[in-house]
Amino acid sequence: MSEATRIDGKAFAAKLRERVGALAEAFAETAGRKPGLAVVLVGEDAASQVYVGAKGKATVAANMESFEHRLPADTDEGTLLALVAQLNADEAVDGILVQLPLPGHLNEQAVIGAIDPGKDVDGFHVINAGRLSVGQTGFVPCTPLGCMMLLADRLGDLSGLEAVVIGRSNIVGKPMAQLLLDANATVTIAHSRTKDLPGVVRRADIVVAAVGRPEMVKADWLKPGATVIDVGINRLPPEPGSDKGRLVGDVAFAEASETAAAITPVPGGVGPMTIAVLLRNTLVAAYEHAG
Ligand code: GUN
């Protein structure tokens, strides 16, 4: 079998960001203000610092206003909820993103639940999760929506295809399964208690791996010709003589490329799509707020 096509999420995301940036400029001309995204980071988590920095830069590059709020790790829930309330009321703010994970003493559900659902560009509020589950329009979480864009671009109509989503998180696995179902795929959600996971995955025309286990999905788990979307971003332990380990996905990329028809690389696959879709959701929010 020939080598799989590499699905270039980085290039797709760059085009999406460019389109969103042009539309944001047009929005500003008619609305008299730029779309605004507020990002809240509590604490010093290294990966979160990198993500939040990248989101801020991408927001400005897409002709939008970025409002960054960095709070100390020991911030109490009342203070955080007061900030969310202030952002809900701020007309310059179209989207609010509270970076997860929050420090352990803060109740994530309570904080997400305090965000105005009309500004919940992450799509994590129960109202938006509920809308997705009953087929109403609302904000859809960025990573799964980005995966769907890559799948639609690659495969077109997904009707009747067998899709296996590995992972059942609220952020990726569950909304991903919902979106695939809405696209008329036959969907299985597999997880850590699934019996014969390789056998289940082998049925799939579409595999979406979102478990956070480095290189777990092997070539012999895949049906020849499958399309593989790898959401995992895992850092391996450093090799001798190097201070940082390699980034890998949840799929053993090199061997899987021998069996799959198409596969997203890590990095450069799904990762860049998340921020591009966040900007797209913020633009949609801005248009809704402008009436
Ligand atoms: N942490 C990891 N991914 C995300 C995301 O998409 N949104 C938020 N708010 N936090 C995250």
Q: Is the CB of 111 under 6 A from ligand 1?
A: no
Measured between alpha carbons, how far is residue 217 from residues 25, 90, 155, 232, 249 in Å? 42, 45, 21, 11, 9
pLDDT value for 1: 58
List of domains in the chain? 32-118 (3.40.50.10860), 141-272 (3.40.50.720)
Cβ distance 121 to 88 under 8 Å? no
pLDDT in tens, 274-289: 999 999 999 999 999 9
Q: Which residues of the chain have pLDDT under 50?
A: none
- As a whole number of angstroms, the distance between CA 55 and CA 65 comes to 11
Residues 6+ apart with CB under 8 A from 285: 35, 94, 95, 118, 119, 121, 139
Asked whether the ipTM of the predicted complex exceeds the cut of 0.90, the reply is yes
Tokens of 115: 């965000």
- DSSP state string for 48-92: HHHHHHHHHHHHHHTT-EEEEEEE-TT--HHHHHHHHHHHHH-TT
- As a whole number of angstroms, the distance between CA 41 and CA 101 comes to 9
pLDDT value for 2: 81
**Closest CA to ligand 1's atom 2:** 100
Catalytic residues: 55, 99, 122
> For residue 99, how far is its CA from the centre of ligand 1 (angstroms)?
5
How many residues are present in the chain? 291
| Unique residue bearing structure tokens 């390789």 | 198
Q: How many CA atoms lie within 13 A of 176 on its CB side?
A: 31
**Closest CA to ligand 1's atom 1:** 100
Q: Is the CB of 190 under 6 A from ligand 1?
A: no
pLDDT in tens, 19-73: 999 999 999 999 999 999 999 999 999 999 999 999 999 999 999 999 999 999 9
206 is in an annotated binding site: no
Q: Can you tell me which atom of ligand 1 is nearest the CA of 141?
A: 6
Q: Is the peptide bond before 101 cis (omega within 30 degrees of 0)?
A: yes
> For residue 164, how far is its CA from the centre of ligand 1 (angstroms)?
23
Does the pTM surpass 0.90? The reply is yes
167 is in an annotated binding site: yes
